[in-house]
Amino acid sequence: LVAIVDSGVASATTEAWVRGVLMSEEWQDWLDSTNILLVWWDRAKISRAQWDKVAFLFASGEGGIVLPQMVLFDTNGLKVDQFLAVNNGDNNLSSAGDFIDRLDEAMEWDGLQIGPGWVGFTDPAQTVSATTNAVTVTVKRWGGASEGAQTFRVFTVSGSETNAAVAGIHYKSVNASVSWAAGESGEKTVIVPLLDGADVIVTQRVFHVRLEKGAGTTAKLGTTNHTVTVDYAPGVIGFTTNALTVYAGSDYAEVTVRRSGGVLGKQTVTLKTHAGTAAAYFKTVTTNLVWASGELGDKQVRIPLQGDALDFGAPLTGQVFYAVLSPAATNMTARLSITNQVITLQGSASSAGDWKYDSSNGVWRVASNTSQASALTWGAREGGWLTFAWHKITSGGTLAAALPGVVTNTAVTDVTNRVALAQGTNVVWMLTNCTATVKLLRWESAQVQLRAPADGFSATNKIVTLSWEVPSDSVVTSYLYYAQSPDPMPMQQHVGVAVTNQVSYTNATPGAVEFKWHVEMDIHGDLQTTARVVGPTWSINFLKRKEVSVATPPPVAASASPNIVLYQYVPARIPMAERLKAVHGAARRYTAKGLPRGLKIDASTGIIAGTPKRAGTFRATVKT
């Protein structure tokens, strides 16, 4: 309890509180039964500069401080209550009874930390799949944190069950210490790694995590045994999806088979391809996929393509074949899930009218025009550059390309162009009353390459450097966008023209924050083409940093007040205060919306002050 007073002037309110509370037997009895420190800040005993700091920290909305002012903190330095110890008509806080009632009510707050507290596991047991890499066990200190540092030992034992897990085979033995500093409470975690246990012959294994006191520990024990049951099952095996589309120009179709949900026993499946309408476009594959006991995860099989399926300009239209899974042995115990995958081969080019494809030369041609309008369309499945050669065979008529924007070509020898296309856009070659050829030469995907940090990176520092690379063989402008939770909409933050780009970002928000970013590119090509390409979204997790802000009260002689029962200064977290300065110096009125509960803005000074009631990220708007 911080009591802010002034013993150097005649004050009826201060005198009433001293006589009615500090000098009463009721107050002495309450102090004897309560774990509390009384801190005395006396205006008459400290310098003017020191007093100005105190007055600023605990000032009322009018900018001054009225005495005697009482401020109650828990032992973590978090302000619990602040009030003026006077008779306000409803409560006589200058009398011991009402004053003690006010403190008792505030000290019933759940966040208050009195005494050494309790330490124990948050749960008595958990069941995990053997497919997890580790077991996380949580130990918590609660109900008090004010009496010294506390250290406990956490260790694993195999137990006496018939299906007991064995250290070194099924889990890695752990013998660790968990500690809380004086004034610290909350949760600590211990990780117990799980091992493959490839010799498993039962469906469950059990081991225990125990908790015991360390030397000099005074906190009481809560739950001291945590039972871990590890489930072993053969699992499920199947394709990750039941359908796959592969576009012409690919070398192969890659299918993925996954074992999940269990690692008991060796499991083998057979993958075979079956022809549908696409028999001419792929090579037959038959192969066994084997997971050892204790193994799970994905296995990939590449099915080679052939013929027109290798030509990105070929007009394939929904050619289909199948990949099928079946048990490779009669003793397979894993359950099969998706056993049939439909693989569709799809071309990016399509035509209408007189356009015909010459697959031997890879050329689209109108050899005989019937006076109808003919159109050849090629669609971009992603952003990039398409290179093609085109010319008229006969004079007269019209040959044009819509990119968008229409460009005509009257040349009778090949003209080669490299155009920029956005995902989902088309190039359409239109022809009337003439003959012509179009040869699709090359497709180049425009991709943003992530350099640092890795996607999903966990940042312990508040400053990170975002780095990416764009294609080097073309003129590319890149735009950095990012958003920080809880803001859902990424905003443009940087424009770069270099191949390799770096931008530093500082996270100014305390606590755990998810940060998402991506890069967009403007790519350029022939025929005045420009396209916007949006890269993938990457994330960074800023981890919560433990930050302690401590105010050291000014020294005061021990004889400053004879009425203090327990005289000691304790560290206290300073309430947040940020002054908003007026730009032009004129009188202004400040308002704020969206402030966390517990914070208020002073309308005349613009000071935001108080102590937030809970942790979190808040969006506030201040207006003048």
pLDDT in tens, 361-417: 889 999 887 777 889 999 898 899 999 999 999 878 889 999 878 999 989 899 999
* One domain for residues 474 and 437: no
For 508-528, what is each residue's pLDDT tens digit? Answer: 776 667 888 889 999 899 998
pLDDT of residue 326: 93
Average pLDDT over residues 454-474: 84
Torsion of CA 590, 593, 599, 605, to 10 degrees: 0
* One domain for residues 520 and 566: no
Domain end: 497, 520, 542, which one?
542
* One domain for residues 311 and 322: yes
pLDDT of residue 201: 66
- 61: CATH: 3.40.30.10
* One domain for residues 171 and 142: yes
Residue 408: which of 399, 395, 420 has the closest Cα?
399
For 592-608, what is each residue's pLDDT tens digit? Answer: 877 877 788 887 777 88
* One domain for residues 132 and 217: yes
Minimum mean pLDDT range among 217-231, 276-290, 540-554: 540-554
Domain end: 424, 445, 466, which one?
445
Res 570 pLDDT > 70: no
* One domain for residues 438 and 395: yes
pLDDT of residue 207: 94
Res 471 pLDDT > 70: yes
C-alpha to C-alpha distance for 436 and 391, rounded to whole angstroms: 6
For 248-289, what is each residue's pLDDT tens digit? Answer: 889 999 999 999 888 788 899 999 999 888 889 999 999 999
C-alpha to C-alpha distance for 541 and 211, rounded to whole angstroms: 31
* One domain for residues 6 and 101: yes
Mean pLDDT across the chain: 82
Torsion of CA 257, 262, 266, 269, to 10 degrees: -30
Asked if 515 and 482 count as a contact pair (C-beta separation under 8 A), the reply is yes
* One domain for residues 243 and 317: yes
Q: Rounded to an integer, what is the distance from CA 161 to the centroid of its chain?
A: 40
- 413: CATH: 2.60.120.380
pLDDT of residue 282: 94
Residue 474: which of 423, 418, 518 has the closest Cα?
418
pLDDT band at 577 (very low <50, low <70, confident <90, very high): very low
pLDDT of residue 462: 78
Res 426 pLDDT > 60: yes
- The residues facing 499 across adjacent strands are none
Asked if 273 and 284 count as a contact pair (C-beta separation under 8 A), the reply is yes
3-state per-residue secondary structure call for 258-319: EEECCCCCCEEEEEEEEECCCHHHECCCEEEEEECCCCCEEEEEEEEECHHHHCCCCCCCCE
| Number of domains the chain is built from | 6
- 139: CATH: 2.60.40.2030
* One domain for residues 332 and 406: no
Q: What domain range is 424 assigned to?
A: 349-445
Average pLDDT over residues 564-584: 33
* One domain for residues 62 and 91: yes
* One domain for residues 440 and 453: no
Res 546 pLDDT > 60: no
Report the share of the chain in percent with pLDDT over 70. Answer: 86
* One domain for residues 437 and 467: no
Domain end: 208, 231, 254, which one?
231
**Element housing 243 (H / E):** strand 243-247
